Amino acid sequence: MWETLAQAVINGLLIGGIYALVSIGVTLIFGVVKIVNFAQGEFVMIGMYISFFLATQFGIDPLVSLVVSMPVLFLAGVLIQHFLIRRVLGPNDMPQIFLTFALSLLLLNLSLMLFSANYRTVHTFYSDEAWHIGGLYIPVAKLIAFAVAMALSGLLWVFLHTTDLGRAMRAASQNRDVAMLMGINPNRVFAVAFGTALALAGAAGSLLMPFYSAYPFVGQVFVLMAFVAVVMGTLGNVMGALVASLMMGIAESLGIQFVGADSGLIVVFGLLLLTLAFRPSGLGARRGR
């Protein structure tokens, strides 16, 4: 019994690492730029295709292609922020919602057209490997993905807390107007935030590629969990999103294991409702606010 339980927790934790990369991106954009990026999942998809084509055309390992997918998507994020998002920022939310939603639909259908609906997988020597410890097993590809995801999250945390730009982003996230009065250039901060968020999505894509198939709709699978984690971990709170993502992964895994294989999401949303009932602003909210 404890073995099954431990295995379920390991499975959940490992996939939770991927959810974390996606949800941190969403929460970062929301915290700093104050918009919801509905297209975040599509950028995961793009990251996957970048890794897929680098692997099949040039034989580059998906994990190595991280150094391509992250900068490419960072640049894409800066450009999107500069040419699209910047123009719709304002008191009215509707244009922003439509913009990112349209972006999502555009990227989805574009990739359907370019890459077709087929599933694409990459085989690496560690794709089907697992470490067996006692009765438990740990898939190597997922463990690597989890470790890199946690390292990237840690780097982001260090960046936000020790660099001027990072502090400026946190300041903008806490109070945009006051931050601007203190001389912070919002356009620069927004561009870096959007770029960083997309780079994380790209990283998630590259990390997924050794063990998950790439197809145009793949982003939708992950973005749903990311949004749940963002709400649960308090909107705009990076650490909250990280913790909530890991919890979501574990909840889903336990749900499938002990409730029913089609009930993973029921448990996840049940947990979300419970959280919202007792801590309406999420787990990451400061007490007394």
Q: Which residues of this protein are in contact with other proteins, per CB under 8 A?
A: 4, 7-8, 11-12, 14-15, 18, 116-121, 123, 127-130, 132, 137, 139, 211-213, 215, 221-222, 225, 252-254, 256-257, 260-262, 264-265
Closest C-alpha among 224, 234, 176, 226 to residue 197: 226
Q: In the complex with other proteins, which residue's Cβ is closer, 158 or 221?
A: 221
Q: Closer CB to other proteins, residue 98 or residue 119? A: 119
Residue 288 CB, nearest approach to other proteins (Å): 36
Measured from the CB atom, is 77 or 216 closer to other proteins? 216
Closest residue by Cα to residue 190 from 27, 33, 24:
33
Distance CA 79, CA 82 (A): 5
CA angle 53, 47, 216 (to 5 degrees): 80
Q: Which is nearer to other proteins, 166 or 219 (CB)?
A: 219
* Cα–Cα distance for residue pair 195/201, rounded to 1 Å: 10
Q: Min. distance of Cβ 52 from other proteins in angstroms?
A: 12
Nearer to other proteins, 41 or 284 (CB): 41
* Cβ distance to other proteins smaller for residue 67 or 147: 147
- Which residues pair with residue 120 across a beta bridge? 214
Distances (CA, A) of 108 to 40, 51, 160: 11, 17, 31
Min CB(103)–other proteins separation in Å: 22
Min. distance of Cβ 218 from other proteins in angstroms? 9
Pairwise CA distance, residues 251 & 258, whole Å: 10
CB of 220 to other proteins, least distance (A): 8
Q: Which is nearer to other proteins, 147 or 221 (CB)?
A: 221
Q: What is the C-alpha end-to-end distance of the chain, expressed in Å?
A: 41
Within 8 A by CB and 6+ apart from 244, the residues are 23, 228, 229, 230, 232, 233, 282, 283, 284
Q: How far is the CB of 212 from other proteins (least distance, A)?
A: 7
Of 170, 187, 177, 165, nearest in space to 239 by CA: 170
Q: Shortest distance, CB of residue 203 to other proteins, whole angstroms?
A: 16
- Alpha carbons 140 and 123: distance in angstroms, whole number: 13
